[in-house]
Amino acid sequence: MAMASPVKVVLGSIAFAVFWVLAVFPAVPFLPIGRTAGSLLGAMLMVVFRVLTPDQAYAAIDLPIIGLLFGTMVVSIYLERADMFKYLGKLLMWKTQGAKDLLFRICLISAVSSALFTNDTACLVLTEFVLKVARQHNLPPHPFLLALASSANIGSAATLIGNPQNLVIAVQSKISFGTFVIGILPAMLVGVCVNALILLCMFWRLLSVQKDEEDPAQRRLLLSHSTSLNSQELNSILEIPSLQSSPNLNVSIGNVETLRNRLPSSENEANKVPSGAIEFARISSASKEETLWKSGVYLITIGMLIALLMGLNMSSCAITAALALVVLDFTDARPSLEKVSYSLLIFFCGMFITVSGFNNTGIPSNIWDFMEPHAQIDRASGIAVLAVTILVLSNLASNVPTVLLLGGRVAASAALISAAEEKKAWLLLAWVSTVAGNLSLLGSAANLIVCEQARQSPQLAYTLSFWSHLKYGVPSTLIVTAICLTLIR
């Protein structure tokens, strides 16, 4: 594509720079309006500067991606209401064998839940639970928060609904859901294991420190300040014996019967039994209805995943599943629909327009024309150059804009070699752009969600700094990306 006029190139670059600055640094002092407003501002500037016409701007919005994103959000909200993530959290505690075992479980559960329910949702729901588990075991939260965020990014690469950039690839590439999973799943599984080993190596000494024995009063004071456990859970952790098992309580059955015989009996007390039975029956009925409703939610979600594996239209499948869940709930859907991140949907609309305008300047095409001879994926050196390019751009311009800017051009170049190489190019783009999010704290929304959730936790607040993340992120990202690139087919 030829370069546009110098005026259009300059103005389009300014509009894209405004979008990029506000997307990466949403609270800049001179314009602290946030990512969503920054995305709309960039889109508006593209139209005002006449880089795009209004009709071109509307056409740039990819409605199938917006529909797919909306549908998966609604499904995740109902799964959360059905306690799916609570059950996943309980798996973290089931017969745990110490800090290292706990860290590996967090990596595995975070990866699997992100692949099925998107990485942002998994991080949003599991962060508070991970903090509580770490504090309950008197362990530092740092390695466990890193495990949660990084594994969520790696795991989300395995499916087309795992993260926003994969949603873009799903619509642009026309690759079936099953083909995509088969192509990346081996890399994802190995990547999660390698990432867990890196975390264990970096924090081995920290995770090997044994808890000092403390007297019950000290332990009660520590837990009361660091957790929000109820009294029953607190007593079980402190190993305080219950009344029934206490050896000091020598209450005989005869004394109990004597006291019972002294109590006055009346018809009013007798009449309480039927009302209590009715109340018990009502609660039991409500419990059965809730169990049936949860089962329905899980069945609809499984049906959606099966439909995706069969190759049906992904946007239609997600929206249909969302509507089925709304009908199944049989109540006012407004409280659930209010939890949808409409700001993210608006951000995507603005981003589509801004990236389309930047493409019209001709800058991305000319950059790719320079890189293309060195980034052919039919040889190892070309794959390395392409991976480095995607890695750098994903951390400079964010992964979703990188996929929008490079996706079509990388696939078109690979299609000249063969159809198989074209599919491989899309898979490489999905893998590298997703794992690139682990490099820095600003690399992905999942990292920021974990950081903000941990920082704003009312009783378990913990700050995950940019530099502490970078010390882990750089070696982990490079090692996981390099090892697993060889497994993508």
User: Which one, of 91, 202, 73, lies nearest residue 140 by Cα?
Assistant: 202
pLDDT at 274: 59
Structural Rg of the chain based on CA atoms: 27
All residues at 6 or more sequence positions from 327 whose CB lies less than 8 Å from its CB, including other chains: none
Q: Which two tokens stand for residue 151?
A: 């594994």
Consecutive H or E run containing 447 = helix 445-456
Torsion over CA of 19, 23, 24 and 30, rounded to 10 degrees?
70
pLDDT at 127: 84
Strands (E), 178-332: none
- The overall pTM is greater than 0.85: no
User: CA–CA separation, 130 vs 360, rounded Å?
Assistant: 45
DSSP secondary-structure letter at 378?
T
Question: pLDDT tens digits, residue range 279-315?
Answer: 767 777 778 888 899 999 999 999 998 998 888 888 8
pLDDT at 276: 64
Burial 310-322 (b: 16+ CB within 10 A, else e): eeeebbebbbbbb
User: CA–CA separation, 298 vs 179, rounded Å?
Assistant: 24
The answer to whether residues 141 and 454 touch, using CB atoms and an 8 Å cutoff, is yes
Please, what are the averages of pLDDT over each run of 10 residues along the chain (489 residues)? Answer: 85 91 77 86 95 94 87 88 80 74 89 86 81 83 91 93 88 89 94 94 80 42 41 38 37 42 46 61 77 93 90 89 93 91 87 90 85 86 91 81 87 89 93 92 78 74 79 93 89
User: Which one, of 117, 190, 187, lies nearest residue 152 by Cα?
Assistant: 117
Side chain identity, residue 430? A
Q: What is the DSSP string of 147-171?
A: HHHHHHHHHHTTSTTSSHHHHHHHH
pLDDT at 184: 94
Q: Which two tokens stand for residue 45?
A: 């500037």
Three-state SS at 355: helix
pLDDT at 459: 66
Three-state SS at 169: helix
User: Which one, of 404, 457, 445, lies nearest residue 36 by Cα?
Assistant: 445
Q: Quote the longest CA-to-CA distance of the chain.
A: 100
Consecutive H or E run containing 56 = helix 54-60
Torsion over CA of 318, 319, 321 and 322, rounded to 10 degrees?
120
Q: Give the N- to C-terminal CA distance of the chain in Å, as an integer.
A: 30
Question: pLDDT tens digits, residue range 110-155?
Answer: 999 899 878 887 887 788 888 888 888 788 888 999 999 999 999 9
pLDDT at 299: 95
All residues at 6 or more sequence positions from 223 whose CB lies less than 8 Å from its CB, including other chains: 135, 136, 229, 234, 237, 238
